[in-house]
Amino acid sequence: MLDIGVQTARQADPTLLRLTLFGRMEARTLTGESVLPIGGKTRALLAILALSDRKPVLRSRLSELLWSRRPEEMARASLRQDIHRLLDALSPLGVDVIDVQRHTLSLKPALTSVDAERVLTANSRTLGGLLPPDLLLLGELNGIDPAFDEWIDQQRERITLHIKGVCETRLRELRDPDQIDTEAERLLLMDELNDAAWRARIQAALSRGDHARASAIAENLLKAFERQPDRVPAAQTQALINRVLLPREPGDAADVFQEEMLPGQFVGGADSSASYSSLVQDLGGVNQQKRDVLLIANKNGAEYFASSLASVLFLTFAADAGCVEHARELAETLELLLVDLGLISVLTTPSGYTPDALNPMQSYQGMGADYLVSGTLRPAMGGARPRLVLRVLDVRENAAIIWGTHCEIEVVDLAHTRMMLSAAAQSIKWGIVLAEARRSWNLPRGNLSPLGCGVRAFLLMMNRDGRTFSEIEQLLEYARRKDGQQAFIPMLQSLFFYGRSVCDWSIEEDRCQQNALDAARAVIALMPYQKVYLPMLAAALYLNPKTQGQAKSVFASFMEDAPSDEVILYTIGYYFCTTMECLLAGRMADALLEIEKVRLSPCRSPLYALLDPFFMLISVLAGEGRKVIESGRMLAGMYPHSSGCLVPYLVALITEGGDSDEIDAVRTHLLSFSSSLTVGRVMRRLEYLPSPQRALIENALRQAGLPET
């Protein structure tokens, strides 16, 4: 996906022909119509003209690049044919955008624009919004001709060198440590051994007073150079590593860093006589402390996340004098609940620690915190119960609030309070997952760890777009192959295949349901003592009528332990199972109550969106079709490619005697992107429902005009 800056530039571009060369090649008119030629050689011809700096290209040169293995006369004849094909493809423009001369061809600059050209002409001020971070230049044209392959490699190298030069210039201009980190990481993605970038990251950490982070970056630097023994760090880089990592006596001048030192200002180390090999030997065993988050290091195996997703620090909850002790207990309870969920590292504040009054976020970041959890307990007033306000702040984004809620506390009902905090802990976890997914969205997949691939897949799942299902499955399968011990990955796989079983009608339902079950069992095998995952296994078993007896037993076992460990409640699997049990027992009113609990929860997790299709279906069966129609209209506008929500919407329109035009519109739209959808396929997917409910849905779909088989 192109960076949003590229999209904005393209939308504001008044030229007649707009060429995209990064990723999938595109050629579009001012109105968005594709005029991309069909043949690979013809596309390659257009690409050569687009990357020739608007200079005329000799026909002989074009022949050499595209038909290097043919005799000269045959190559020229083939070129003439492809020129005609190219001009025909571009004819809808109505204007000649290619200047064809007897001996040369060129692309007319006033009428055409090229994304790669904008990158090549960008400077340190304009480059940031134009970079397509993980797209290869003309990747689909590899193999056209050996000479052309060599030419493409040269163009890629030319663009990379230009970007590196611009980034290095910008790195020297910047003074803000966070901006320096961002620019240095971009450089390391292109050149994993870029000395300037490594020094900048280390010095940015030192400028914050974060010596632990500087040491971690220095260790990653050494590992990167060890992988390529033919290259060694520059003398300045060696001196900086020596300052950061080697043990020193207290008071040694080399161990003192000026707080105002910024990466662009560092000078020194040229007199260092220590060789790289001896330096590595001296550093053996030094500063090998455990790190929760591994920052981007290089492009050949760097990982954005390590064993945990993020680090969270709890602040003292604010409260009036009479509520201080209760606020402290709430904070401690929520902290422990978040620890129990795993995935997130919870930090503790050292005794007597006071952050910098002028820049507290920098102090917290220096402690290794990515997020802060803060709370305010307001006392009961006017007969109301005490109210707890919770927030999660992103330390790296100037304390921006990424999650928040407020709820009333039952001071005398400790069980209710603990369950409310359990729901809050679940919601905080998934809120942080979404925040981290958005933060790492523009990183190439190769720079994501298994955990990073998982959070990216989760963000795609939340988009509810059936067109991304294959990408989600690939991300999760890649992550699971790379790290088979991370329970978070098969948990996401189970959630994904559950969601796909009610949202994607293009695959065989047996495979989908079986994958959901296999993934849930894998989670249990990895975390046998974590009861929180049992409802997920039960939910997968409920999807198949043959295993619903097992599902009931698993869920009953889960509920036996629930009162002693409320953190296992308020999960997506829990609500699915409680609603399913009401449905199978014919208690439809109770099923609606379970749905209402999710809807009204002040700590509703974003994960519950996966239950929308199931909850809508249950609501239709319980006689709440009007509410489903309202929800369907809203969700159809928000998620137009989610067939899982459109099917219950269509059923509700039939059962409630909806407008025929609306029924036709929903059916037509549904079949436009889910052409394999039939009454038979839907009913095979819904075999877990009782017979009367299945008959209601089947009749409604037939009346709606869906194909029978």
pLDDT tier for residue 113 given thresholds of 50, 70 and 90: confident
Q: What is the pLDDT of residue 130?
A: 59
What mean pLDDT is predicted for residues 56-66? 93
Say yes or no to pLDDT of 688 above 80: yes
pLDDT tier for residue 284 given thresholds of 50, 70 and 90: very low
Q: Is residue 437 within 8 Å of 459, Cβ to Cβ?
A: yes
Q: What is the pLDDT of residue 605?
A: 75
User: Which range has the top average pLDDT, 196-200, 632-636, 653-657?
Assistant: 653-657
pLDDT tier for residue 612 given thresholds of 50, 70 and 90: confident
Q: What is the pLDDT of residue 7?
A: 40
Say yes or no to pLDDT of 264 above 60: no
Residue type, 700: A
556-605 pLDDT, tens per residue?
A: 888 876 654 444 455 778 888 999 999 999 999 999 998 888 887 767 77
Please state whether 689 falls in left (phi above 0), alpha (psi between -120 and 50) or beta. Answer: beta
Of residues 270 and 321, which shows the higher confidence score? 321
Say yes or no to pLDDT of 243 above 90: no
Q: Is residue 156 within 8 Å of 22, Cβ to Cβ?
A: no
Q: What is the pLDDT of residue 83?
A: 94
Q: What is the pLDDT of residue 430?
A: 87
Q: What is the pLDDT of residue 306?
A: 45
Say yes or no to pLDDT of 509 above 70: no
379-406 pLDDT, tens per residue?
A: 876 667 788 899 999 987 778 898 888 8
pLDDT tier for residue 246 given thresholds of 50, 70 and 90: low
488-504 pLDDT, tens per residue?
A: 899 899 888 887 876 66
Q: What pTM was estimated for this model as a whole?
A: 0.56
Percent of the chain with pLDDT over 90: 22
Of 231, 128, 109, nearest to 171 by C-alpha is 128
417 vs 408: CA distance, rounded Å? 9
Tally of helices (H runs) and strands (E runs) in the chain? 28, 12
22-48 pLDDT, tens per residue?
A: 888 999 988 889 999 998 999 999 999
Q: What is the pLDDT of residue 601?
A: 73
Q: What is the pLDDT of residue 413?
A: 63
Secondary structure letter of residue 296 according to DSSP: P
pLDDT tier for residue 282 given thresholds of 50, 70 and 90: very low
pLDDT tier for residue 252 given thresholds of 50, 70 and 90: very low
| Lowest-pLDDT range of 81-90, 417-426, 663-672 | 417-426
The mean pLDDT of the chain is 78
Say yes or no to pLDDT of 684 above 80: yes
What mean pLDDT is predicted for residues 526-548? 84
pLDDT tier for residue 627 given thresholds of 50, 70 and 90: very high
Tokens standing for residue 384? 């109301």
What mean pLDDT is predicted for residues 205-225? 83
Of 23, 289, 259, 273, nearest to 132 by C-alpha is 23
What mean pLDDT is predicted for residues 651-680? 89
What mean pLDDT is predicted for residues 148-176? 82
What mean pLDDT is predicted for residues 263-273? 32
Q: Could you count the other beta carbons within 10 Å of the beta carbon of residue 401?
A: 11
Q: What is the pLDDT of residue 41?
A: 93
Tokens standing for residue 87? 């001009």
Say yes or no to pLDDT of 3 above 50: no
Of 262, 272, 212, nearest to 242 by C-alpha is 272
Residue type, 586: G
Say yes or no to pLDDT of 133 above 60: no
Q: What is the pLDDT of residue 9?
A: 39
Say yes or no to pLDDT of 238 above 60: yes
Say yes or no to pLDDT of 705 above 80: yes
Q: What is the pLDDT of residue 14?
A: 53
Q: What is the pLDDT of residue 241?
A: 81
Angle between helix 146-173 and helix 59-66 axes, rounded to 10 deg: 100
577 vs 614: CA distance, rounded Å? 11
Q: For the residues of 452-507, what is the DSSP string, one character each?
A: HHHHHHHHHHHHT-GGGHHHHHHHHHHHHHH-TT-THHHHHHHHHHHHHHTT--SS
Q: What is the pLDDT of residue 619?
A: 93
Q: What is the pLDDT of residue 128?
A: 58
Q: What is the pLDDT of residue 10?
A: 42
333-349 pLDDT, tens per residue?
A: 888 878 766 678 888 77
Of residues 88 and 284, which shows the higher confidence score? 88
What mean pLDDT is predicted for residues 268-278? 36
Q: For the residues of 178-220, what is the DSSP string, one character each?
A: HHHHHHHHHHHHH-TT-HHHHHHHHHHHHHTT-HHHHHHHHHH
Say yes or no to pLDDT of 21 above 80: yes
Say yes or no to pLDDT of 356 above 90: no
Say yes or no to pLDDT of 193 above 90: no
Q: What is the pLDDT of residue 703?
A: 94
Q: What is the pLDDT of residue 164?
A: 80
Q: What is the pLDDT of residue 582?
A: 93
